[in-house]
Structure 1
Amino acid sequence: MSLTDKAITRIREMIRSGQLPPGAKLPPEAQLAAELGLSRNLMREAVKVLAVSRVLEIRRGDGTYVTSLAPRLLLEGLSSAVELLSGETLRELTETRRLLEPAATALAATRITDEGLAEVAAHLDAMRAAQHDPERLNAHDAAFHRAVVAATGNETLSTLLEGISASTLRARVWRGLVDGNAAEQAIAQHEAIFRALVAREAPLAQAAALLHVSSTEDWLREHVPTDGTGEV
């Protein structure tokens, strides 16, 4: 472990222990470096790294603060990272989505409010209206799933699935361009998910979501090269 990594670890330990809770202002650089037995240069580098990862926030002229440490903040770089994946790794990512999203949809069926159902219904209507516009269709497809997962009230789960689904959006757009039956099939699958949510039937919602995600996974398996050269 490098000296910078050790400095990062020490600051993280202070945060985990509650010595520096969310929103807390860090002591002045010289003071903190002395307390941890580190040089100011090492402390400065550690703070920069933790700021990039959104653990700390540097406010010019004010000081350095611990962020809210909310899942959406800490995991917001996930979608950018997974956008670089292709080929076999992209299929692995879709497999991960298959493991998570049906369970999330089942949970949503037990927690979704009338307002949440109305939002999901609005995106479903927009999908129907955009059958011949793959990009609009897929934008509302993504929004549909965001609304469903948001209904779970689990911010960590929502952030993880948002990051994973963002990487497959291009695949769904491409599928809409090359497969004339994709729009009709996608809408039918989303309608099944919506009916299960309205009925508050968790097992049915899970099964409908599994069928939908599995169809995307099957398409990727058929169309995306295993050598990672595909542009999907």
Structure 2
Amino acid sequence: MTSGNQARSQTDVVVDGIKRMIMGGELAAGARLPVEKDLAALLGVSRSSLREGVRALTVTGVLETRQGAGTYVTALDPRILMSPMTFLVDLQRPESVIELQSVRRVLEVEAAGRAALRVTEAELAAAEEILASMDELLSGPGRASHEAVMEADIAFHRVIAGACGNATLEALIEALASRTVRARLWRAINEEGTELVTHREHRAILAALRTGDPDASRLRMGVHLLAVEQYLTASLGPGAGQAPEEPAAPAQ
């Protein structure tokens, strides 16, 4: 037990030490770490503890090991650094999805407002192309594939998050999307006509973005995501009975 705690403590020393070196400017994004022997001596740890710490930082996206070339600091892209958050989100209990959706609504409303001031013609065209594909899915013969509609829905929201001009905000939204996407898929499967209503809400969001009006864009996004949140509260909240089993998320 003692040796296990000691090894963990030494790993923490490595993680904290390398983090300080990055924050202090000794190791910049893209920089190569000193050779193992020198770095272990600098941090005052064994080489085995150093390797454990490096592995931990590699998993979180801070470091990357290049075969035969050494270990490097990554570009420290927020999308990579926050990707482990998706794993934590997926581990939340079903009833916690309401809280996750509430947080996501706050973030996406702000992203829509920022996007209204920064969105490019190319991004508007991409969003329009996605909604046009949804037009075909929802108006074509037969029942539209829920998975295909959700794929288009995910892509539409990603365009807006990408247009907000804030990589950290975009990464947070992406990290929160996987669990809530599954809840929205459940809603689509179990509420007749929901997909058409959602599609009209998407159209309203895009129209607001085209005008460059941040307040209108925030309002339209807020209305859109609040409807999902209210459905989840009614379905999974207190007094709603047993939470339904969530279907598998569509491929992303």
TM-score, normalised to structure 2, is 0.87
Q: State the one-letter code of the partner of 1:106.
A: G
Equivalent pairs, count = 232
In structure 1, the residue matched to 2:153 is 141
Preserved CA contact (<8 Å) 2:114 2:165: no
Identity rate of aligned residues, in percent? 37
Partner of residue 231, structure 1: 245
Query: How big is the shift at 1:77?
Result: 2.3
Unaligned runs of 5+ in 1: none
Q: Which residue identity is paired with 2:223?
A: L
How many angstroms apart in 2 are the aligned matches of 1:120 and 1:193? 10
Which residue number in structure 2 is paired with residue 57 of structure 1? 64
Q: CA deviation at 1:225?
A: 5.9
Counterpart AA for 2:74 = T
RMSD: 1.7
Show CA shifts across 1:58-117 (max 9, x none): 123221111111111111222233122232311110010111111110110111111111
User: 8 Å contact 1:25–1:63 — kept in the other structure?
Assistant: yes
Q: Equivalent residue of 2:127, what SS?
A: helix
Displacement over 3 Å in runs of 4+? 225-230
Q: Which secondary structure does the structure 2 equivalent of 1:77 belong to? A: helix
Q: Which letter maps to 1:11?
A: I
TM-score between both structures, scaled by the size of structure 1: 0.94
CA displacement, residues 98-140 of structure 1 (integer Å, 9 cap, x when unaligned): 1111111011011111111101111111122222221111111
- The change in CA–CA distance for 1:16 and 1:215 in structure 2 (over 3 A counts) is same
Q: Verify the 8 A CA contact 2:115 2:161 in the aligned structure 1.
A: yes
1:110 alignment partner, one of 111, 117, 123: 117
Alignment of 1:193-208 (within 5 A): 193-208=205-220
Shift of 1:228: 8.6
Distance 1:72 1:99 in 2: 19
Q: Is this contact kept in 1: 2:113–2:213, CA < 8 A?
A: yes
Question: Which of 59, 69, 76 is the matching residue for 2:76?
Answer: 69
Deviations 1:44-64 (A, max 9, x none): 111111111111111232211
User: Would you say the 8 A contact 2:98–2:229 is kept in 1?
Assistant: yes
> CA offset at residue 229 of structure 1?
5.5
Contact 2:116 2:214 in 1 (8 A): yes
**Contact 1:120 1:147 survives alignment (8 Å):** yes
Q: Does 1:32 align with 2:39?
A: yes
179, 185, 190: which is aligned to 2:197?
185
Give the distance between the partners of 2:17 and 2:242, measured in 1 at CA.
39
Q: Which residue of 1 aligns with 2:234?
A: 222
1:4 aligns with 2:11: yes
Aligned equivalent of 1:174: 186
Contact 1:50 1:56 in 2 (8 A): yes
Q: Counterpart in 2 of 1:43?
A: 50
